[in-house]
Structure 1
Amino acid sequence: MKYTIRSKKFFAVTLSVAYLALVFSCSASRSQDIIRLTTDPLYVEIEKSGQELTVKNNVPGAAVALIRDGKIAWIQSIGYADLASKKPVTSETIFNIGSISKLISAWGFMQLTEKDLVKLDDPVDPMLSRWHLPESDFDRSKVTLRRILSHTAGLSVHGYGGSDQGTLLLSLEESLNGKTKRNGETVHLISEPGTKWDYSGGGFTVAQLLLEEKTNQSFTTYMKNNIFLPLGMKHSSYEWTAEMMANSATAYDENGNPVKNRIFTEKAAAGLQTTIKDLAHFAELSITRDPKQLNKVLKPETIKLMEAPVLPNSNEGESGLGYRFMNYEGFRTLGHTGENVGWSAALFLDLPTKSGIIVLCNGSNGDRVWFPIYQSWLKTLKMKNEFSK
């Protein structure tokens, strides 16, 4: 009996030591993570400037993610998701990302080409039944998915303003026919397809209709089941679901006043809600094109094609397929920016260095926050490039 008691005591002591070792190990690991962040000059700089910029520009909150070597290095939350309740921004806070929606929706459209439902260079209009491009002096047969995704299809309607949440949405056909409140402009040809770069949210609305007709599914449902869930983007949706609303930031106008969320018929062009974690993961995949993580959503060679420039370009812009080339501060990056009332976002990638910065803001003045953050990132990137030479 004494032997049994002594054995039990020994076993208990052993377990206690093992548990304490595990606790100290985890604590040490967390401490190391904290030390790494607090000693990362870029993290510290963005933390300080971000807090100042959000307050100065009536932007309650921001979420920032840094990509290094093709992986998420860190995520930083700044300020408030909601001012009245003092609810802080977290990595799980939902933001609308405006026209960055086009970048993600392009993955859905390109998946159609991999499934052989659509050819990149076939005329789009004959594949539609619910709506057709209006007759024009320009050649409608030259409007292809490749040109739509690269803003070289010659189509009208730069962007969309959306509607207040709770209002009845237009159908896709009504939107394409120009019944939107913001501009009342039909989607039609304004130049010969393939002759110039001209940004067109209207083109992405045509592509949204094409996807729905080819799959017999709503755009939202198709993107959820075929893009978001396979990629592990569980907190992304082209609709304001009850779950999304529960975790959403509040949108604020340029004066810092709360505004209602905007809802969009033209979801592919401007209607995506997501978190910084989901969007940063998407950025990782755009850089690494890791087949295992892509989970057969797209082939790596398809993403590589999307990230290559499509001619023609101009002084006004240059695009791949969904991805845009940007040239802020004389540095060429790949990605997109997005603006809707109460929201502002930016995603910049530098493929050669496998680097990126993503910033989401819940304020109309968000560009006054993300642009200085971009400048800080660019400064460190240039320093790293110079050092590596």
Structure 2
Amino acid sequence: MPAAYASPRAKPKWSLICSVVVLAGRIGRLVVLLLAAMPSHLAAQDGSPLALRLSQTVPERMARDGVPGAVIVVIEGAAPVWTGFFGMAAPAAGAPMTAEALFRVESISKPVTAWGAMRLAETGRLDLDAPIDDCLTRWRLPEGADPITPRALLSHSAGIGLGDYAARFPPQGPKPGLPEHIAQDFSLIATPGSGFSYSDTGYNLLELVIEDCTSEDFAALMVHEVLSPLGMPGASFDWTGADMPVGHDLRGRPVSAYVYPGRASGGLHATAADIARFAIAGMAGAEQSVLSPEGVAGLHRAEVAVGGLFAFAAEGYALGHFTETLSDGRHAVWHGGQGYGWMSHMHLVPETGDGIVILSNSQRAWPLFAAILQDWSDSLGVEPVGMSRVLLAERAARIGIALGLLVGALGIWMASRTGRRLRFARLTAGGVGAALIIWPLWATAQDYLFLFSILPGLWPWLGAASSLAGLGLSALALAPERQR
């Protein structure tokens, strides 16, 4: 060992240096957290109650859930009236969030793609109700498969599986072509037209249909048919290499840039202002040259009822839009997006011109979005929109944590007071206890679970409480019986 480390006289010096380094690190982390929790700026200042409320809600929720950054645009009367940008675009570099930040908007790509498909339909270049095999040249449906139409792809009623949402590739690296990706990713899980089945693969297949029908690259077509006419200069379905915020995964770790093999389902990059312009184009009476009022209405009219977890937040799915009826009877349409390190949401009430756009560079942002939507709903004078129900999971989790702690403590206490117990009761306690211990260990080893998204800050506590309950029940099952 070097003399400097072995000398007793050197210890105080190195101890002091180490203490200073540790303290500096802690101060640095604290500064980053404080910056992330503070609003970077509030543009288009509006003294409305909603603006003031969001200025409090957003930093509080970001700090609670570990969300580094967010940009929000509030729309009233079919015009943006308030923009707030909060936290950090790149915490490690100390870069603050800006209103002009370019985001991966993930599945908000789907309603934009739907506008492109409807534009082609209204200009006679795509028949929404004809079999897609009429257009496809680079890939075909499996032999014997029932016909599928573009309308079915747009409404997630084609019976196609979700697809491999983890198929990500470096922007400048090799990746499979779209036909090859679909050949690997395509699976029929239900008869076309039999019901709702959310599918990224279905939208990527629609991208292939559009390209084969028009003999034009999808991203280029979307620029001149939809994005440019709607005034979305920052938006692109192609990777632009622009300086973007750093995405963060469910554990708060930074995410490297990536692209998908398909673009129609989740490949759009855009600013919050771009998505706000897109939302405004869908309002009643909006001045835009892309679609007729009938075409826009067709995109917003429900085609199929949704089921499963989606039913907690929506009633139906139209063409690229979820639908719901507000508590005052108004019709609302919306779409959200979640990707690796990114989340997005767009909600609009077309008949009154109200809307909101929320983008974040964190996959931990669902509770934040739900809290924002709850405040927005209150400003409209209606009950919270369906996506706000994510917050109900937090209440249920807190109850679960309390019950887990209670069961664990009670089981350990009862095990310490040995007595006679039925064999069946001991086996049951042991089996339930083992399950309560094992599932958090299994969950921790997973890259993604729905539970992680809706409870980013609470699921570790829920897992710990479950493990404690399991230990209590296991102790109760294993404790020796008192001899009579």
Map of 1:183-222 to 2, 5 A cutoff? 186-222=185-221
Aligned to 1:263, the other structure's residue is in SS state coil
Q: Distance in 2 between matches of 1:240 and 1:53?
A: 31
Structure 2 contact 54–372 (Cα < 8 Å) conserved: yes
Alignment match of 1:66 (pick from 71, 74, 95): 74
Shift of 1:270: 0.8
Structure 2 contact 326–383 (Cα < 8 Å) conserved: no
Specify the code of the residue in structure 2 equivalent to 1:203: G
Q: 1:192–1:65: structure 2 CA closer, same or farther, 3 Å change rule? A: same
Cα deviations across residues 295-340 of structure 1 (Å, max 9, x unaligned)? 3x22221011111111355464521111112579999731101000
Q: Distance in 2 between matches of 1:57 and 1:197?
A: 32
Structure 1 contact 336–348 (Cα < 8 Å) conserved: yes
Cα deviations across residues 151-181 of structure 1 (Å, max 9, x unaligned)? 1111122562242424312111111112xxx
Shift of 1:69: 1.5
Pick which of 223-232 and 318-327 moved more. Answer: 318-327
Aligned to 1:77, the other structure's residue is in SS state strand
Partner of 1:10: none
Matched, 1:304 2:300: no
Partner of 1:6: none
Alignment match of 1:56 (pick from 59, 64, 70): 64
Q: Distance in 2 between matches of 1:36 and 1:131?
A: 49
Structure 2 contact 207–264 (Cα < 8 Å) conserved: yes
Q: Distance in 2 between matches of 1:122 and 1:35?
A: 47
Alignment match of 2:177 (pick from 144, 148, 171): 171
Structure 1 contact 289–303 (Cα < 8 Å) conserved: no
Specify the code of the residue in structure 1 equivalent to 2:182: L
4+ long deviations beyond 4 Å: 312-317, 326-332
Alignment match of 1:323 (pick from 321, 324, 329): 321
Q: Distance in 2 between matches of 1:357 and 1:189?
A: 35
Structure 2 contact 46–82 (Cα < 8 Å) conserved: no
Aligned to 1:334, the other structure's residue is in SS state strand
Q: 1:168–1:299: structure 2 CA closer, same or farther, 3 Å change rule? A: same
Q: 1:367–1:210: structure 2 CA closer, same or farther, 3 Å change rule? A: same
Shift of 1:352: 3.7
Partner of 1:344: 343
Structure 2 contact 46–81 (Cα < 8 Å) conserved: no
Q: Distance in 1 between matches of 2:162 and 2:78?
A: 35
Q: Distance in 2 between matches of 1:172 and 1:383?
A: 43
Matched, 1:146 2:146: no
Structure 2 contact 157–196 (Cα < 8 Å) conserved: yes
Shift of 1:212: 0.8
- Where relative contact order (Cα < 8 A, 6+ residues apart) is larger, the structure is 1
Structure 1 contact 58–255 (Cα < 8 Å) conserved: no
Shift of 1:240: 2.1
Partner of 2:96: 88
TM-score by length of 1: 0.80
Q: 1:172–1:307: structure 2 CA closer, same or farther, 3 Å change rule? A: same
Cα deviations across residues 31-59 of structure 1 (Å, max 9, x unaligned)? xxx99945211111111221122222222
Matched, 1:227 2:220: no
Cα deviations across residues 354-385 of structure 1 (Å, max 9, x unaligned)? 21111000001011211110111011112699
Q: Distance in 1 between matches of 2:303 and 2:273?
A: 30
Structure 1 contact 158–199 (Cα < 8 Å) conserved: no
Q: Distance in 2 between matches of 1:81 and 1:329?
A: 36
Specify the code of the residue in structure 1 equivalent to 2:295: T
Q: Distance in 1 between matches of 2:43 and 2:272?
A: 22
Map of 1:350-365 to 2, 5 A cutoff? 350-365=349-364
Partner of 1:9: none
Q: Distance in 1 between matches of 2:336 and 2:160?
A: 20
- May I ask how many residue pairs the two structures share in their alignment? 336
Structure 1 contact 349–355 (Cα < 8 Å) conserved: yes
Aligned to 1:224, the other structure's residue is in SS state helix
Structure 1 contact 134–188 (Cα < 8 Å) conserved: no
Q: Distance in 2 between matches of 1:40 and 1:128?
A: 52
Q: 1:191–1:289: structure 2 CA closer, same or farther, 3 Å change rule? A: farther
Specify the code of the residue in structure 1 equivalent to 2:207: Q
Cα deviations across residues 171-221 of structure 1 (Å, max 9, x unaligned)? 11111112xxxxxxx313222211211111111111100111122121111
Give identity over the alignment, percent.
29
Matched, 1:266 2:262: yes
The structure carrying a bigger strand percent of its residues is: 1
Q: Distance in 1 between matches of 2:44 and 2:100?
A: 22
Partner of 1:104: 112
Q: 1:218–1:314: structure 2 CA closer, same or farther, 3 Å change rule? A: same
Q: Distance in 2 between matches of 1:258 and 1:159?
A: 22
Partner of 1:76: 84
Q: 1:188–1:264: structure 2 CA closer, same or farther, 3 Å change rule? A: same
Structure 1 contact 196–312 (Cα < 8 Å) conserved: yes
Cα deviations across residues 104-142 of structure 1 (Å, max 9, x unaligned)? 011111111112122111111232010011134x52x2x
Aligned to 2:63, the other structure's residue is in SS state helix
Partner of 1:113: 121
TM-score by length of 2: 0.65
Shift of 1:99: 0.8
Q: Distance in 2 between matches of 1:298 and 1:103?
A: 13
Partner of 2:273: 277
Structure 2 contact 104–268 (Cα < 8 Å) conserved: yes
